[in-house]
Amino acid sequence: MSTFILMKILESAPSRYDRGIKMLTFGGVEKAYDNLVAPVKKGDTVLDIGCGTGALTMRAARKGARIKGIDINVDMLDIAKRRINDAGFSGTVEFYEMGVGEMDTLKTASYDVIMSGLCFSELTNDELRFTLKEVKRLLKPGGYFLLADEVIPENILFRVLQWLIRFPLVIITYIFTQTTTHAVRNITLKIRGIGFQIQSKKLSFLKSFIELTARKPEER
């Protein structure tokens, strides 16, 4: 009923997934994540969009925040749950099998921080637009939006460079994981577009990886 190769692809995907993504960023994600969670304070309510195996979730939990991690991949969530339990944070962290398209069921203005690591580059354009709209609705006034992801450089020269470097990596990653990502385009503009203020922005890997802290304005 299935074609041989496709079935193999499906079976091998979940466990190899993380590895593929790490290869694409040369393991540099780890440090970026450490820096990214800086604004998270003890007692904050935090939403982790596309939490995966819980890399960001864990960092925020260590700071004493209460976190809700959402993801659509049950195998990733299983790993995340195990890790969080082992670290003793099961009291402050909850995971939900939920896609970004279902975020409209969450309560308005209920989060101090919303964060997302390497998930936006997996979304379709429609999903990205929808997600930003929901992030705006869900954050409390003055709340932080933290993003780490792969982006398409704005400068054409860097764009060509990125393509040249990325191309072989994409092939390798594809062989291992049968997935690839779509670097996000104009994300800073899009975040400004929903009325957020950019607080800090760091580009690395030839301007192809963004670490961004934005803030929803306080109500006047």
Partner 1 sequence: MNSLKYFIINAIETMLRMVPFPTKTGVIKIGNPDRNSPVFLTCNFHLTVERVKRALKGMDCYLLVAKSKGINVWCAATGGLFTHHDVISVLKTSGIEELVDHRKVILPQLAATGIEGKIVRQKSDWHVIWGPVYAKDIPAFIRNKLKKNVQMRVVRFPFVQRVEMAIAWAFPISSIAALLILPFWRHLILPLSALIWGMSFFIFLAFPLFENRLSARGKRIGFIVFDFGRGGIQLALWGFFLLLVFGYAAAFHQVNANFILRWSFITLVTTLLFSMDLMGSTPVFKSSLHEDRLLKISIDNNKCKTAGFCELVCPRNCYEIDRHAHNTTIPRADYCVQCGACIVQCPYDALFFKGSDGKILTPEKIRKYKLNLSGKHLVKVG
Q: Which residue ranges make up the site for ligand SAM (CB under 6 A)?
A: 21, 50-53, 55-56, 70-73, 76, 99-100, 117-119, 122-123, 127
Rounded CA-CA distance 142/21 in Å is: 32
- Applying CB under 8 A, the site for partner 1 has a residue count of 30
At its nearest, how many Å lie between ligand SAM and the CB of residue 161? 23
3-state DSSP call for residue 76?
A: helix
- For 210, residues 6+ apart whose C-beta sits below 8 A from its C-beta are 147, 148, 149, 150, 151, 184, 187, 188, 201, 202, 203
Closest CA to 119 of 170, 28, 49: 49
What residues between 133 and 192 interact with partner 1 by CB under 8 A? 178-179
Q: Given the complex with partner 1, which of 170 and 206 has the nearer CB atom?
A: 170
- Residue 111: CA atoms inside 13 Å, Cβ hemisphere, count? 27
Q: Identify what 39 binds: partner 1, ligand SAM, none; CB under 5 to 8 Å per kind.
A: none
Residues that bind partner 1 (CB under 8 A): 1-7, 9-11, 13, 72, 74-75, 97-102, 104-105, 124-127, 129-130, 178-179
